[in-house]
Structure formats: C-alpha cells, structure tokens
Amino acid sequence: MPDSHLSPLPDLPVPPPALLKGAALFLDFDGTLAPIADTPDGVVVDDELLVLLGQLRDRLDGRLAIVSGRSVATLRDLGFAAFLLAGTHGLEFAEPDAPVEAPARLPAINEAEAAFQTFAAGKSGVLVERKTISVGLHFRGAPQWGAAAGDLATALAEQLGLAVQPGKMLYELRPGGADKGSAVQSLMQRRPMAGGTPVFIGDDITDEEGFAAARELGGAGILVGVPRPTLAAFSLEQVAAVRHYLAQGVAATG
Ligand SMILES: O=P(O)(O)OC[C@H]1O[C@H](O[C@H]2O[C@H](CO)[C@@H](O)[C@H](O)[C@H]2O)[C@H](O)[C@@H](O)[C@@H]1O
C-alpha cells in the first residue's frame, strides 16, 4: 500500500447512513463488531448483533460479508455460520453453511507453532493461538515481550517462508499471497457481492488493505477507533458506534 495515499488527517467525518444504500458491506470482526478482549477466547457474540447483521444482509440482498483474521471455523463457532465469510486475512472463504475454500495447513505452520510455544513457556501473559492454517503469538497480557515476539515472528517467517501478520498485541504467521484487500477484490467478482459499492469497516492496520480495495473499486473505508493515518474516508469512534451505524443502515436501506 503506498504510504503517500494514507490520509494524515486525524478527523474523518462520520459516515452517512445513506452510504450503505446499494453497498456491498465488508465487516471486520475483532475491534469492529466486538470490543477487544484480554484473550482471543474472551470474545462473545450476542444475539442482538446477529439479528442486526441478518437484517442488514437481507436489506442489502445478501451483500454483507465478515472479513477477519479469525479462521472461518472460529467465525462459525462464534455464531456467523449463516454469513458469507472470508477468514485468515483473505486466505479462506465460505458461503453460508457451505464447505470452506482454504489451503491446507502447511508443515511450516506447525514448526512455527512449536517455536511460539517454546517462546511462550514460562512467560505469564504470552499466549499461542492455534488456528486452522495459521498461528498467533499474543502478548496483550505481557506487553514487555512484544518486541521479542516480533523479532521471533520475523525470524521464523524468513526461515520458514511464511508471512508475518502484525495485529493488536499480536504477531501471526501464515501463508502469504492474500490479504483483506485481495479478499474484497475476490468477493466483489462473485454473487452476492458483485454489483454493490464496496464499503469496508475495520479497526486494525490489517484492514487498510480492505479500505484500499474498497476505494479502488469506487467505494470507501470506515476506520473504527482512534485516528491514525489511513486510507479510510470516514471514521466511527468505537464498536458501539459501529452498531449504531449499522442499525441506522437498516433504516436507511428499508
Ligand atoms: O481481523 P479481525 O477480525 O480483527 O481479527 C484479527 C485478530 O483478532 C484476534 O486478536 C485480537 O482480538 C483479541 C480478542 O479481542 C485480543 O485479545 C487480541 O489482543 C487481538 O489481537 C484473534 O485472536 C486473531 O486470531 C485475529 O487474527
């Protein structure tokens, strides 16, 4: 992503609900639909959110997808089985209740996981997240280990031919060749997303590729959380504001 395209402006406008009319809506999960929790397992999806997303998806003739760093399997366990999903940062896809399209788990991911486990051993607050085709090293509970975790992830990525995916108090190792931008590009060529105007809502640095793709395809990104240089055109302050905006979207698309 060219840095020159990043907006340095701290104050982006709140998106108008009318932006969602005719939209193909791409939603990040952690930090966007659910507040950040202490651990990956600490996040719960409430029925109210699922009902809201279902209503909006129906109003958009199905053009709503969750695009997450979580695996499709985890997204389904969290309650999103009835939604179009792109998991593991654009490496996995699944239509509602249909088989998952995903590459196999690489032996290199198992090697990386073993190295992460060795690193985490005895370090209270450092956590290894085993995922379907990737692995995460979390240090939210022990920020003092963040730099060392990053050094380890970088070295392993080079050694094992994997991609490093930085996140919020997290480094993941995964196969390369995809990101949230490529997920948007791919889904926009298929039903039901094709024909809509892409709108991508996300909070993390990994969502910038999604904002870039939405923008390239004539749509827009919405950044959630504290201002930062971004390719998004709009911003929402926090998860609660996203929910409010999506509820406004249901009304605006009725
Ligand atoms: O693309 P996302 O849907 O935002 O997923 C990105 C990663 O989110 C999760 O980690 C983050 O959220 C955790 C729970 O709130 C938090 O404890 C952690 O510090 C965050 O980095 C998830 O665990 C990862 O697998 C996702 O890739």
So what's the pLDDT on residue 3? 52
Tens digits of residue pLDDT in 96-132: 989 999 999 999 999 999 999 999 999 999 999 999 9
Tens digits of residue pLDDT in 136-168: 999 999 999 999 999 999 999 999 999 999 999
* DSSP assigned state of 91: T
Best probe residue, ligand 1, of 170, 173, 223, 224 (max atoms within 8 Å of C-beta): 170
CA dihedral sign of residues 102, 103, 107, 109: negative
Residue 8 confidence (pLDDT) above 70 = no
Residue 7 confidence (pLDDT) above 80 = no
Give the binding-site residues of ligand 1, using a 6 Å CB cut-off: 28-31, 36-40, 43, 68-70, 129, 131, 136, 138, 140, 167-170, 172, 204, 206
For ligand 1, the distance from its centroid to the CA atom of residue 195, given in whole angstroms, is: 30
Residue 9 confidence (pLDDT) above 70 = no
So what's the pLDDT on residue 97? 83
Best probe residue, ligand 1, of 28, 30, 168 (max atoms within 8 Å of C-beta): 30
- Tell me which residue has its CA closest to atom 6 in ligand 1: 69
Assess contact for 156 and 119: CB atoms under 8 A.
no
For ligand 1, the distance from its centroid to the CA atom of residue 105, given in whole angstroms, is: 20
For ligand 1, the distance from its centroid to the CA atom of residue 192, given in whole angstroms, is: 27
d(CA 136, CA 151): 14
DSSP 148-203: HHHHHHHHHHHHHT-EEEEETTEEEEE-SS--HHHHHHHHTTSTTTTTSEEEEEE-
Which domains occur in the chain, in start order?
Answer: 17-91+178-253 (3.40.50.1000), 107-175 (3.30.70.1020)
14: Cα within 13 Å, side-chain hemisphere: 11
Assess contact for 21 and 15: CB atoms under 8 A.
no
Reference 141, options 30, 225, 35, 40; nearest CA is 40
Reference 242, options 207, 201, 205; nearest CA is 201
Question: pTM for this structure?
Answer: 0.95
So what's the pLDDT on residue 254? 80
- pLDDT category at 6 given cuts 50, 70, 90 is low
The number of residues making up the chain comes to 254
Indicate if 28 belongs to the active site. yes
So what's the pLDDT on residue 139? 98
Q: Alpha carbon 53 to chain centroid distance?
A: 16
| Mean pLDDT of all residues in 58-70 | 98
User: Is ipTM over 0.85?
Assistant: yes
So what's the pLDDT on residue 10? 60
| Mean pLDDT of all residues in 31-38 | 97
Reference 201, options 50, 5, 53, 45; nearest CA is 53
